[in-house]
Amino acid sequence: MTTDTLGGAREATLRQGLRIIGHGIVRQPWMFTIATTGALIFGALTVADAWVLGWATDHALVPAFRDGTIRPSILILVVALFVGLALLRALGIIGRRMGGGIMAFRLQSAYRREVTRQYLRLPMAWHHQHPTGQLLSNANADVEAVWAPIMPLPMAVGTIAMMVVAVVQMLLTDLVMGGVGLLVFPLVVLANVVYQRVSSPVFTRIQAVRAELSEVAHESFDGAMVIKTLGRESEETQRFHDKAAKLRDLGIKAGRLRALFDPVQEALPNLAVLAVLAVGVWRIRSGQAATGDLVTVAYLLTIVGFPIRSIGWVVGELPRSVVGEARVRTVLDETSTMAVGDHDLPVTDDGAHLRAQGIWFAYPHGGSVLRALDLDVSPGRTVALVGSTASGKSTLTTLLMRLVDPDAGAITIDGVDVRELAPGVLAKHAALVPQTAFLFDDTVRGNVTLGEDIGDAEVWRALRTAQADEFVSALPGGLDAQLGERGTTLSGGQRQRLSLARALVRRPRLLIMDDSTSAVDPDVEARILAAMRAASGSGTVVVVAYRKATIGLADEVLYLDDGQITDRGTHEDLLARNPDYARLVNAYESADPVEEAAR
Amino acid sequence: MSQLLDGAELTALQTMRIGFSHSPELRRGLGLTAFFALLGTAGRVVVPIAVQQTLDRGLHGPQGVDVGFVTLMGLASAAAIVLTAASSYLMTSRLFVAAESGLATLRTKAFRHVHDLPVLTQNTERRGALVSRVTSDVDQVSQFLVFGGMIGVISVGQLLVATLVMLVYSWQLTIVVWLCFAPLFISLRYFQRRLTAAYAEVRRQIGVMLSAISEPVVGAAVVRTHAIEKRTQGRIDATIAAWEKSQISAQSLTAFSFSLGGISAGLANAGVIAVGIWLGFADQITAGQVLAFAFLVSLFVGPVQMGTQVLTDAQNALAGWRRVLGILETPADLVDAGPEGVDLPAGPLDVAFVDVDFAYPTGPTVLHGVTEKIAAGSRVAVVGETGSGKTTFAKLLTRLMDPVSGTVCLDGVDVRQVTHECLRRRVVLVPQEGFLFDDTLLANVRYGKLDATAADVVAAAGELGLGDWLDGLPDGLDTKVGQRGESLSTGERQLVALLRAHIAAPDLLVLDEATSAVDPELEMRIGRALESLMRGRTSVTIAHRMSTAEAADEVIVFDRGEVVQRGRHGDLVGQGGVYARLYASWEAQRSAS
């Protein structure tokens, strides 16, 4: 939607923009009052300055030069007036800037808190449908855009008041000179309106291209290795250059508009002063005005000329604000929830009893991943979930942890439908170790305990089982080592081991591992498995696996094929009776003529 | 191997000199721009002079009110105002053209340079920081050049011109005005330093806040499975509060320093009137001249109020400029041999490492004295424990890094002599994390060969035994892979990366754990397919899984940065040592049940 073709849309933008501003004022009435009062004081005193100058001209300057003498009291009064007004005006500036700033910052903070609360509240399915980049910019750039008109708002309100006062004063001082001077206001407003209309689409485009440029750079640097290995540097540079050139051209276009607008804006009041001088001379000659009147009107024009553009600043931010608000609203107004119940589960050390019945699941825009899947894991059992690449194993683990709900069917723990559980209950009894480990920008301890009151001995024990104790003790600070954003300082295998320790330390009654040791060396993995076997209490374990060593940990294997558990039994039974399963897990051996010969 | 420079060691002058040399557009036509700037600034005193002339000569002249003079003066002033506006327009638009063009060039150069840096340097940088160097840092410089810089130049010009005109009227009053503003000028530096620190803190807090805000988005699953919503919200709220606090304290400083300009102006006006009257008694000055001073004082307020802001912006822009230039100043170790470089002859490539050492900067040596030959057309597996140096070996082989000493040769030619174009066409590495671009599957595969058709890709997938998988995707080749390929599973991403490498048809293929997340059956099927496809070409495979080693022509075993064993699997198993140990642990795993 381009604002210069749709007049209706523009009006709607103005109306919506003003509604957002109104909303901001309602949320921060005190700061708005302080800021606006400051701006009003500033405006009033700026006008008063002109009046004092005119007064000083007529009562001090002209008589003094005419008479060659001046009363000291008059002189002191003039000095006191100028200095006093300046001090008050400074207070006005501080009030305006601080009030406006605090108002804008608080509004931004409040929106960020609301948006992130939504992120935490909304179901996983909603997250799956929204790209990460979009959600991050909703909470940051969009929030900033919404409240961008707030900062210059008090100044604009003050300016309007100041203009009213100045106009009245100019007219009171001398009707004719004031009238001539007044002509400048509609012209300045017109120049502003034209500039806003012509430039705001350009600025909107610049904003968009800037985001595109940053996306290209981000993706390109993320894929730097692939680009290098395939020698695609020139193509990538071209891709970046195209955006940079577009940004340059838009920047020049915006610059030219600005270069045209600024001098016009500045020249208009100056030309008005000349017009006032011309008229003033004629008025003074005919004895209808004093020199001081001329000075006052001319000065009023020069001081009011500049702040008028602050109205333009507010109006200019409105389109961006409206777009930002619309984007933030899609998050704030989202009502989808994952219904929860109020059931609890018995507090016991025994493993959980996990069942799934008639599970159907499909991703939006995709075919069915799970088709009438049934599953039953008795308390304390360890089962391996085996299936080929893209067979739906990871999807099943997210259903079991109720990150998403099935389209049909039910999952129960100890006979209670997971949808009936009270919030937090499932997390207390079950833990998932995902394929890709996610670490918080926190210490090692914080990443393992997640803020729960767990003793260091417990933490070390979990780290030891996950074979993470050695590298953690080597980190400067040990448990207190800060890991940095998403744990980038650690290798993939180290991240996976911390993620495993995080699950183990909670002693879950149901532990679900989704190929969560894929980046770990085979011998380290063997040690992890051995330690887990030794440490495991009576918890129920579901482990997604390819490797026989992992499968070997299991009491039973569930074979997932075509969206269903098509076979279950011990590894040996399945090997013997299920050729598909045998092919999958024996692949390494059957490909190996040397080893077969050796047998 | 170089760390990325941050340019902090550059002085302001050096930064500008180097900056200008990288963006010649900035200097182009600068003289003319400066001329227009001068005209535009000089025009600002037109109104005060006009007021004075009207009062003194038009109204209070010897013949009383002189209409002719006022008319003439008015017209001349109007012409001067229009000329001033035209000059301002020319100056500003020329500045924009120069700054935007120059910085677009700088941006693109820096971007390209990042890709020319060794992989290691790229990896040690936080992506976000690297991106901001070619985006927001450059924006900051251009914003400053066209706004801050312009305001700065005009402000200084305005002060100078106003002072000159004042001096013409009365040197005594000029001193009064300067005395009133002097404390402010002196305190500018102080405020600027505090402001710079305050805004640096704001930026730091923004980084911390954004990192916290990303947690419920990127880590959505973890937050939910562990039910730590409250804790996460608490962390976010704390960072938001800290950000707000830093913003407010920076804002207070700005507000305070901004308010000082007005106070000085008030003092100056009072001083001008008082001293002006006193001078008037001595017939040193006229009433109009005193009034003109009041107008001239208003020319001081703007520059002083903007002064701290401009100085702070200048400091930030300079820092941004340094960071961008820091990229360009970082030597790109992997220099393309260019036109003098060698194109390798067609056919399978042989590889030779001659006494190769490698160490990471400030780190211990990770490869020592590696001397190995790989025959053209052979299939070699590289094994070893984590940290044994096998991935470093692969990166040196594909010239993602250069050795500290020794040489890596392809067909007897030092890889440093081979043109990039030839090297990247003939030698392809498939890493463990096959990065995908946010585009269709087809576009991602085409990355390996730009002119490949959809039919080529389908055929290639068939050759690798991936036809079924491709058919099973909802939109086939048009499937959108999402950001970083996140719509596909880890295993599927590896399949795309493999397909991409295969379609590039290299003469030397290096696989670094390229199928680690694929199920065993598919992995073996791909392995067998590659085996026949790579017949007559050279392949080097790095693998955890010893099945790869079993199937290879030869195995190279790394341990602590050295090659400790080499030979066929059958022979090595019997030799004992590292290989036998690795193999035994693998055996134990795969037959465990």
ipTM (interface pTM): 0.84
Of B77, B233, B290, the CB nearest to A61: B290
How close is the nearest chain A Cα to the Cα of B10, in Å? 25
Mean pLDDT value of segment A515-538: 77
Substitution target in A59, A78, A143, A221 with the highest count of B β-carbons within 10 Å is A221
Sheet (strand B351-359) strand order: B365-374, B351-359, B405-410, B413-414
> Are B222 and A56 in contact (CB < 8 Å)?
no
Closest approach of A569 to chain B, Cα-based (Å): 13
Q: Are strands A408-413 and A416-417 parallel, antiparallel or unpaired?
A: antiparallel
Mean pLDDT in residue range A499-512: 92
What is the distance in angstroms between the Cα of A418 and the nearest Cα belonging to chain B?
A: 13
Residue A594 has pLDDT above 60, yes or no: no
* Chain B residues closer than 8 Å to A533 by CB: none
Q: What gap in Å lies between CA A369 and CA A386, rounded to an integer?
A: 15
DSSP calls for B361-381: TTS-EEEEEEEEEE-TT-EEE
Evaluate if residue A12 carries a pLDDT over 80. no
Contacts of B215 in chain A (CB under 8 A): 440-441
Inter-chain CB proximity B59 and A69 less than 8 Å:
no
> A270: nearest CA in chain B?
B47
What's the token pair of residue A13?
Answer: 């933008």
Contacts of A293 (CB under 8 A, 6+ apart): A54, A173, A174, A177, A280, A283
Indicate yes or no: CB of A390 within 8 angstroms of CB of B492: yes
Query: A87 vs B266: CB contact, 8 Å cut-off?
Result: yes
Reported as a single tens digit per residue, the pLDDT across A156-195 is: 888 888 888 888 888 888 888 888 888 888 888 888 778 8
Helix ranges restricted to H, B505-576: 520-533, 546-551, 569-575
B74 contacts on A by Cβ (under 8 Å):
274, 277-278
pLDDT value at A237 more than 90: yes
A61/B114 CB distance under 8 A: no
Spell out the residues 6+ positions from residue B62 whose beta carbon is closer than 8 angstroms to its own: none
Mutation for A interface: B105, B131, B305, B399, most A CBs within 10 A: B131
- Which residues of chain A lie closer than 8 angstroms to B286, CB-CB? 65
Greater confidence, B251 or A306? B251
Nearest to B351 by CA among B427, B429, B430, B403: B427
A220 to B225: CB separation less than 8 angstroms, yes or no? no
Residue of B nearest to A246 (CA): B104
Subunit contact B216:A120, Cβ cutoff 8 A: yes
Residue of B nearest to A364 (CA): B474
The partner residue sitting opposite A61, judged by closest CB among B222, B277, B438, is B277
- What is residue B128's predicted lDDT score, i.e. its pLDDT? 67
A533 vs A198, residue with greater confidence: A198
One digit per residue, the tens of pLDDT, for chain B of length 593 reads 456 777 777 888 888 888 889 999 888 888 898 889 888 888 877 877 887 787 777 777 677 777 788 888 888 888 988 999 999 899 889 989 999 999 999 999 999 998 888 776 666 556 667 787 888 888 888 888 877 777 777 788 888 888 888 898 889 889 998 998 888 888 888 888 888 888 889 888 988 888 888 889 888 888 988 889 999 999 999 999 999 999 999 999 988 888 888 888 888 888 888 888 888 888 788 888 888 887 788 777 777 777 777 877 788 788 888 888 988 888 877 777 777 888 888 888 899 999 999 987 666 788 888 999 999 989 999 988 877 888 889 989 988 888 989 999 999 899 989 988 888 889 998 887 778 888 899 999 998 888 899 999 999 998 888 888 888 887 888 988 877 777 787 788 888 998 999 998 889 999 988 887 788 888 887 887 887 777 778 999 988 778 788 888 899 999 888 999 999 988 888 888 888 888 887 777 666 54
Higher model confidence: residue B265 or residue A379? A379
* CB–CB contact A591 B495 (8 Å): no
The partner residue sitting opposite A219, judged by closest CB among B91, B252, B438, is: B438
Write out chain B residues lying below 8 Å of A583, CB-based. 521
Q: What pLDDT shows up at residue A356?
A: 94
CB contact under 8 A, A248 and B256: no
Mutate to test the interface with A, among B26, B222, B513 (most CBs of A within 10 A): B222
Nearest to A271 among B78, B225, B551 (CB): B78
Instruction: Report residue A288's pLDDT band, with 50, 70 and 90 as the boundaries.
Output: confident
User: Cα–Cα distance between B532 and A103 in angstroms, integer?
Assistant: 69
pLDDT at residue A524 tops 60: yes
Residue A188: closest CA among A275, A298, A309, A301: A309
Residues sharing a CB contact under 8 Å with residue B498, sequence separation 6 or more, in sequence order: B430, B434, B464, B514, B515, B526
Mean pLDDT for all residues in chain A:
85
Confidence of residue A589 (pLDDT cuts 50, 70, 90): low
Distance CA B450, CA A376 (A): 50
pLDDT at res. A35? 95
pLDDT value for A485: 58
- The predicted structure's pLDDT at residue A559: 93
Residues B386, A493: C-beta atoms closer than 8 Å: yes
The per-residue DSSP string of B313-342 comes to HHHHHHHHHHHHHHHHHS--SS---GGGSB
Amino acid A418: pLDDT: 93
Residue B279: count other Cβ atoms within 10 Å of its Cβ.
19
Task: For residue B64, list chain A residues with Cβ-Cβ distance below 8 A.
Answer: 285
Q: Quick check: pTM over 0.90?
A: no
More confident residue, A355 or B528: A355
Residue of B519, B527, B585 with shortest CB distance to A389: B519
Quick one: closest CA in B to A511, which residue? Answer: B225
Question: Does the pLDDT of residue A107 top 90, yes or no?
Answer: yes
For residue B215, what is the nearest residue in chain A, using CA coordinates?
A440
Give the pLDDT band of residue A317 (cuts 50, 70, 90). Answer: confident
Chain A residue nearest residue B590, CA to CA: A548
Which pLDDT score, from 0 to 100, does residue B301 have? 75
CB B295 within 8 A of CB B161: no
Residues of B in contact with A79 (CB under 8 A): 270-271, 273-274
